[in-house]
Amino acid sequence: MSSNVGGHRFVLGLYAALVAVGGAAGYLTGTFVSELSAPRFLFLVPFPPTPLGFAAYGALTIALVLGVPLGLVVYVSAGLDDDA
């Protein structure tokens, strides 16, 4: 059971690291690329075309794109019988 906890901790750490990389990439894009238009999260929520706006957009997009499938995997795997 302790290896299962280690696996969960690893996956959550990897998820957090990937979200941070998405935020950093957005920040760097907003800093070094000129004349960018404002991004829209889910085509609805506009973010300002600033480095912090792009960082938030990048982090939220990666969090959603990776988080939804990860949440579905956790939900499905919780219902599986380990003895089967």
pLDDT tens string 31-59: 999 999 999 999 999 999 999 999 999 99
Q: What is the mean pLDDT of the chain?
A: 90
Contacts of residue 56, Cβ cutoff 8 Å, sequence gap at least 6: 23, 26, 47
Measured distance CA(68)–CA(60) in Å, rounded: 12
pLDDT at 30 over 60: yes
Q: What is the domain range of residue 21?
A: 3-82
- Answer positive or negative: Cα dihedral of 49, 53, 57, 58: positive
Encoded amino acid at 69, one letter: P
Count structural domains, the chain. 1
pLDDT at 18 over 70: yes
Q: Predicted confidence band at 84 (pLDDT cuts at 50, 70, 90)?
A: low
Q: Residue 3: what pLDDT?
A: 58
Measured distance CA(7)–CA(51) in Å, rounded: 34
Measured distance CA(44)–CA(49) in Å, rounded: 15
